[in-house]
């Protein structure tokens, strides 16, 4: 998966990182349009998806499409599809450009709509990455968990950097008997949950 990343994906990721660095240097970061996950976290997401039970993937919070590029690698390697949801038109426009430039629309479907509502329209999921912010984490988690088979994964972003904004949710997930869960401090943090019942 990582030994033969298509050049179009690598170039697009490089452009996104350069644009992120420029925006930070200029003090411009109005809508978090750019990479939400570190490369190591992106690789971990791809590995986790590649080793899920059979089924497709969903992502809530496309942003600029950076994490979708990593997930697309796993989709290609395992014959899956990714549906990624983003309600913000500016983010959708940027993501559409990035995903098109990277040439991943064969395995990625970008939808401009609320992800929680969009999850209800999907079937056959085994993986869901929630990177839409703490305000919808609990509802998104419950909706995703209900859609997944045993062994399916729900992963929540910002589990470290956003922990102060949704601490009760994180505590509840730790003791939830329906999942095995662990929080990893990669980038903004990932809460990884495997459905056990």
Cβ neighbours of residue 23 closer than 8 Å, sequence gap 6 or more:
29, 34
pTM of the model: 0.87
Q: Exposed/middle/buried for 18, CB within 10 Å: 0-12, 13-18, 19+?
A: exposed
3-state class of 13 per DSSP? helix
Q: 194: helix, coil or strand?
A: strand
- The answer to whether residue 151 is domain-embedded is yes
Q: What is the pLDDT of residue 19?
A: 66
> What does DSSP assign to residue 136?
G
Phi, psi of 108 (to 5 degrees): -120, 135
Using alpha carbons only, how large is the chain's radius of gyration in Å? 16
Asked whether residue 2 is domain-assigned, the answer is no
Handedness of CA 159, 160, 163, 169 (dihedral sign): positive
Asked if the structure places residue 1 within a domain, the reply is no
Q: How far is CA 76 from CA 4, 141, 150, 175, 190, in A?
A: 12, 25, 23, 34, 23
Q: In sequence order, what E strands does the chain have?
A: 56-60, 82-85, 108-111, 125-130, 153-157, 179-184, 190-195
Beta-carbon-side half-sphere exposure of residue 167 (alpha carbons within 13 Å)? 1
Cα–Cα distance measured from residue 51 to residue 113, given in angstroms and rounded to the nearest whole number: 28
User: Residue 23 has what pLDDT?
Assistant: 65
* CATH code: domain of residue 176: 3.40.50.150
d(Cα 104, Cα 185) in Å, to the nearest integer? 28
Which pLDDT belongs to residue 22? 64
The total number of structural domains that make up the chain: 1
pLDDT of residue 28: 61
Q: What is the dihedral of CA 23, 25, 27, 33, to 10 degrees?
A: 20
Q: Which residues of the chain have a pLDDT value below 50?
A: 30-31, 34-35
Domain span at 191: 7-195
pLDDT of res. 81: 98
| Dihedral angle of Cα 80, 62, 158, 164, to the nearest 10 degrees | -140
């Amino acid at each position: 998966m990582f030994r033969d990343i298509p050049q179009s994906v690598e170039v697009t990721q490089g452009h996104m990182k350069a644009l992120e660095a420029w925006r930070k240097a200029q003090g411009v970061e109005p809508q978090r349009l750019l990479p939400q996950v570190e490369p190591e976290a992106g690789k971990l997401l791809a590995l986790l998806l590649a080793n899920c039970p059979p089924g497709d993937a969903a992502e809530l919070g496309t942003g600029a499409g950076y994490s979708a590029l990593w997930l697309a690698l796993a989709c290609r390697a395992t014959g899956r599809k990714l549906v990624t949801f983003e309600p913000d038109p500016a983010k959708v426009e940027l993501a559409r450009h990035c995903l098109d430039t990277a040439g991943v629309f064969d395995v990625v479907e970008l939808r401009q709509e609320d992800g929680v509502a969009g999850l209800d329209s999907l079937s056959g999921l085994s993986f869901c990455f929630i990177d839409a912010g703490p305000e919808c984490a609990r509802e998104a988690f419950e909706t995703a968990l209900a859609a997944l088979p045993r062994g399916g994964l729900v992963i929540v972003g910002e589990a470290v950097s956003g922990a102060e904004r949704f601490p009760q949710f994180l505590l509840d997930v730790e003791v939830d008997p329906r999942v095995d869960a662990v929080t990893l401090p990669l980038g903004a943090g990932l809460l990884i949950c495997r459905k056990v019942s």
